[in-house]
Chain A
Amino acid sequence: MSQKKLINDPLKVADELVEGLVEAYNGDCVHVGQRSLALKNIPDNKVALLVGGGSGHEPIYHGLVGKNLADGAACGDIFAAPPPDIVLEGTQAVSKGNGVLYLYGNYAGDVMNFDIGAELAEEEDIEVRTVLIWDDVCSAPPTQKENRRGIAGLVPIVKLVGAASQSAQTLDELEAFAKKAVLNTRSVGVSMSPGSIPATGKPTFDIDEDKIGLGMGIHGEPGVAEIPMKSADELTPMMLDLIFEDFEKDEEIDALKEGDEVLLFVNSLGSTTMMELLIALRKAREVLNSKGIKTYDVMVGPLVTCQEMSGISFSLTKMDDELKKAWDLPCQSVCFSKMEGRYGG
């Protein structure tokens, strides 16, 4: 059965949602070229931050353009990387003479199209660097991070890098900070039922009614195992353990231990409700507390979605003083806003 969707021409979904997003920003953002958006009034000489990827995962990535966040976003069609000319248009719009950092999820299509976009930008003397987001620990072992997917961890990562970009003096400096934010952020997701492609109404994958896809990606890419349906309190520790295990196994970073501080992000893939997220969040805090790991701050909500896919992901970012300082900076966008101070602890 096809999913009912409130749309117009199925092939214009991405264009129309970006038009709507620009309206939602109500003047703070401008629509650039075919399908990019950029903040108004980016300061001269700022090291710019461009994010992007396929549409259909709203409110990311394009909803992360905002004050102390990303300067712009290049938006692809539904679940498809933006073409190089859209990347170039986004790059031109955010470039203020001090280089542009591309920060996006590690998917073959995104890498190819952003790379071609960077080649075009460099022909126009805009210096570009790329940092890929690969937080999904279930998509490859720690020795093969170049094969990992970028999932919900992108939200804390873009938040942190956006904050750092406000004071970064050079592209080198921002690139190094972004690499640290990525290294310190790890996620695990599960899915219980698929989303659908707006243009066809077809589900992006099939899964049995009584099964959960453990480690599934945000497009329904297969994970590590299909397991029987579980309660929130059974599933939450199981998922967090996969993250702890990854920090332990990875030689590039220290294991999480008592006294460490983390950002906790509980994300819905679409149709999983805030009620369910909060029940899982409650258990996640209990698990972290039992290990003596302090929760520096918490994010919760449907921020990295795949239409009406049901599922949940946990992301942990291991904090240090530099990351905490970046986290504490208030920010504002359609996807995520944060006021002065913090409420976790």
Chain B
Amino acid sequence: MAKESLSPNECRDMLLAAADKIIEAEPILTDADRALGDGDHGIGMQRGMTAVKGKLEGQDFDSIDKPFTTMGMAMMSSMGGASGAVFGTLFRAGGKALAGAESFGAAQLADFLSAASEGVQTRGGAKPGDKTMVDALVPAAEKAEEMKGGSLPDAMAAVASAAEAGKDASKDMIATMGRAKTLGERSIGHPDAGAVSVSIIFATMSDFVAS
């Protein structure tokens, strides 16, 4: 049965599902990054999500923000690299915006993604169109804002589609950030690996609230 709102421990279970999905997707992420970078994104995300599982599994949470900020800290500390700083900031900055929330519904999803998107752009300096994970995150945050008065499963599904579309759109972009930037026009045709990760995470979160 679809979930209209989540408790802190349900948020934890949703994030654990995303962690499992990313670990499973390691070969896909490695191949995506090899096309543009040095191919370490899959291993980095796998390591980060393994650390996330270590911090979240069996842990009882009494506030909505904690599962998210704990995930962010675990990723930042275990991964390093650009991915660690960026994905760590996504969950840490987004999670902080949920302090005091009583449950996680469509409005909280919008708050989470708005703060996450702002935090990531401030830290990394990437803007939409630079062919980074921001190209999946920003449309997702905008969609969440649009859908914040509705139901969580609807909002989450729309967010997942927006991230997926953003990831696909990154194929046609020219990289201007990170190691791929020296590829210039040769970067066209491949999606950004970080955007692939973002779309997998949101798709898994959507499946979780829909089931």
Contact = CB atoms under 8 A, between A and B. Distances in A.
B63 interface: no
A149 B178 CA distance: 10
B189 to A, nearest CB: 14
A139 B76 CA distance: 28
Interface of B, helix, strand, loop or mixed by DSSP: helix
Contacts of B182: 139-140, 149, 217, 221-223
Contacts of B79: 77, 80, 83
B40 interface: yes
Interface string B53-93: 00000000000000000000000111111111110000000
Nearest to B76: A83
A239 interface: no
Nearest to B132: A108
Interface string A79-93: 111111110000000
B77 A85 contact: yes
B84 A108 contact: no
Interface in A195-222: 197, 199-200, 202, 204-205, 217, 219-222
Contact of B82 (A81, A139, A200): A81
Given A108-B178, A116-B85, A139-B182, A83 B80 contact: yes
A20 B83 CA distance: 27
Interface residues on A, range: 35 or more
B34 A112 contact: no
A139 to B, nearest CB: 6
Interface of B: 30, 34, 37-40, 42-44, 47, 76-86, 123-124, 177-179, 181-183, 186
Interface of A: 11, 54, 76-86, 107-109, 112-113, 116, 139-140, 147, 149, 197, 199-200, 202, 204-205, 217, 219-223
11 contacts: A77-B79, A80-B80, A80-B81, A107-B179, A109-B80, A112-B85, A116-B85, A116-B123, A197-B38, A204-B39, A205-B38
